[in-house]
Structure formats: C-alpha cells, structure tokens
Amino acid sequence: MPYINGQFFSRQDLLRRTGNIRQLAGVRSSEILLGKSGGIKIFDVTSNQLRFTSMESRNLDLIDLSYKGMPINFLSKAGPVCNAIADPVGINFLRSVTGGMIYTCGFSNVGAQYEDENGVDYFHGRQRFLPAENISIIEKWEGDDYIVGVGGEMRDNGLFRENLVLRRRITTKLGTKTVNVEDEIENESFQEAPFMIMYHVNVGFPILQQGTKVFIPSKKVIPMGDFSKKELENWGNVIDPVDGMPETVFVHEIQADADGYSYAGEYNEKLGLGVCVRTRAENLPYMVEWRSMGSSDYVLGIQPANCHASGRKYEMENGEVQHIKPFEKKQAGLQLTILDGKEDYEQFLAKFKGCKI
C-alpha cells in the first residue's frame, strides 16, 4: 500500500484523488538529441519522490537516481556517451565511462582489458554497451501496490562466440524508497562461457562529503595496486576532494545475515541521507570498493561482484574465473534503498550488524 507524505493510501483512495495515476508514478520514453549523448534512448521512471533514468541503448543501466530532487549518484565528466562515438579500446574507455547510478560490468571480463587469440575483451566487458530488446514498460497495480519500471533483454553473442542473454527487470513501488534490479543470465549456446559480473554502483556529492560513513560487511580486504596498499587503513574514510589524488580499489570478501543477504551502504549524518545496497552473498560474494577522492572525480562506489575486478587475466592466474554452463541460468541483481533520516539509518545499522555469516 503506497505511503505518501506520512499516510497510507489504498488503490481506490488514490484513484479517487487523481485523474491519472501517472500524476504520481509512471514511465516516459524519450531520446537524447544533442551532444555526445545524442541518440541514447531512455526511460524516465517517476514514483512520487523517487526518480531514475534507465538507458534502453545501454543495457537498461541507470544514468541517475534522485530522491526529493537530490541526486544520489556520481556522474563523470564524460557523462552518458552514445555507442556510436564511444571508444571502449585501451585507455580510451575512460572517455565513455558514464558513472551514473549503476552500470553493469561483464560478462567475459571485469577490470583490466584482456586480449588473447580470440580478440579483445574491453575494460569491464561489453555488457554496458548492449542495447535492450523485447522491451516492456511496467505500470501496473498488484493489489494495493502500484509498480513502475522497465524490463528487457540484452544479448552478448557472436558467430563462433558465446550467446549469453541478460533478462533484466528494474522496478519500484509507489510510496517506497527502493529500486529493485532483478537479473537472470542464461547461456543459450552449447559451450561453457566465462561469467564475470560486477554492478558499478556510484554514490557522489552531496551524500559523499568528508565524514560520510561507509559500511561494507567485510571479513577480508584486498587492496588492488600499490597506492591502494598505502591507503588500506583509509578504505572506510571519506575526505574532501584532493587535487590529483589517485583512485584506490579494495576488494572485500563479504559476510551475510541468516537469510543470505548482505547489506552495505553510505550515510551522511549531516544531511540525514544515505543509500543501502542489498545483495545475495551466494550470487555476489564480493564488494569491490572504488574510492576516488580526487577533485572532479569524486566518488565512492560500492560494487557487488562475483570477481576481483582486476581483469580476466588476473582471475585466470588465480584460478578463480567463474563459468556458466550451456543453458544454465544464474541469478543476480541488487536492491537500492534510500536512507532518509535517523529511523532508516538505525534500521540499516541493525541489518548491517546482522551480517555475521
């Protein structure tokens, strides 16, 4: 039942008060026309005080997420770049990294570019560049709950190559502060394929400020790179932006609660605002922390994954590359919830502290 401005409303209550339920929640499709983003097709999803934009042209990933008009995500200097001009090869991939609220990394590679006799697997893989097909716009009542969002399929395939399909559904309920990303990945070929996945969840200013608290239910932390090793003790600290400061990356092996869920997040006590990331630990046993305190590249990403985010070569050398068998289906996804005020924060802390398994 929708909870709006401190009051619960049934379906009939809301329909009495609105001529069209899209006054409160709905999905609008459009296309960005100008600049480097020109040509990207998008869905704008609104649900009372929660809003997000999903890119049909790029894996249904989320450019942004806002709550009560306040942005939650980080957006890179490049912003969303149309696939037609994006260059994913080598270091040029940085010129088409959107950041945004969520972008999906995988499936053949996560991390550093990998190359073998079969060709190049880009930094963070091909998935984030794939357009959606079999699109569905979701606007429906389920009892007294009104559900809005988008769904679709993205296929990573080729002649003599793999044939993986990602079936994705991104939804929210009217009156809630939660976005659900439900993913199913199926191998529709007759050969086993590498299966690496990471959700690049990027929180930026204004939630991200000096003193913002970072919560990751970590049982082991692995710094990736020399500077990350030097900054190991600071992985949970957020500072003001520093000109020219390099990024750091930490891989956390995570704990879960009795139901198998892991809870991570960031919270700004001054604003009374934060975000919680919930995942299934059996599907995504790592949280990759991307900590960039550099000026104008100011972001702290909490990135659920099934790998170390250092590239397929690293995973192969350590014997840790996961695979998906012919016609096997794997479940993934995450839940994002806005933490608005002390009560939400305390409820999150209880869930976070319950991650002991």
Residues 59-85: tens digit of each pLDDT: 999 999 999 999 999 999 999 999 888
pLDDT digits (tens, 9 = 90+) for 124-147: 889 999 999 999 999 999 999 999
Res 117: pLDDT? 65
Mark residue 22 as left, alpha or beta (left: phi above 0; alpha: psi -120 to 50; beta: remaining).
alpha
Q: Is the pTM of this model over 0.75?
A: yes
Number of domains in the chain: 1
Partners of 133 in the β-ladder: 153
Alpha-carbon distance of 270 to 238, in angstroms, equals: 14
DSSP 73: B
Question: Is the backbone peptide bond immediately before 131 cis, with ω within 30 degrees of 0?
Answer: no
Partners of 333 in the β-ladder: 182
Buried b (16+ CB within 10 A) or exposed e, 230-249: ebeeebeebeebeeebebbb
From the CA atom positions of the chain, what is the Rg in Å? 20
Q: Give the CATH number, domain containing residue 214.
A: 2.70.98.10
Question: Tens-of-pLDDT digits for all 357 residues of the chain?
Answer: 898 988 999 999 999 999 999 999 999 999 999 999 999 999 999 999 999 999 999 999 999 999 999 999 999 999 999 988 888 877 777 888 889 999 999 999 898 888 776 777 778 889 999 999 999 999 999 999 999 999 999 999 999 999 999 999 999 999 999 999 999 999 999 999 999 999 999 999 999 999 999 999 999 999 999 999 999 999 999 999 999 999 999 999 999 999 999 999 999 999 999 999 999 999 999 999 999 999 999 999 999 999 988 888 888 887 778 999 999 999 999 999 999 999 999 999 999 999 987
Supply 111's token pair: 């991390």
Phi, psi angle pair for 24, to nearest 5°: -110, -35
Phi, psi angle pair for 268, to nearest 5°: -105, 105
Q: Could you tell me how many residues make up the chain?
A: 357
Q: Which domain holds residue 101?
A: 3-353
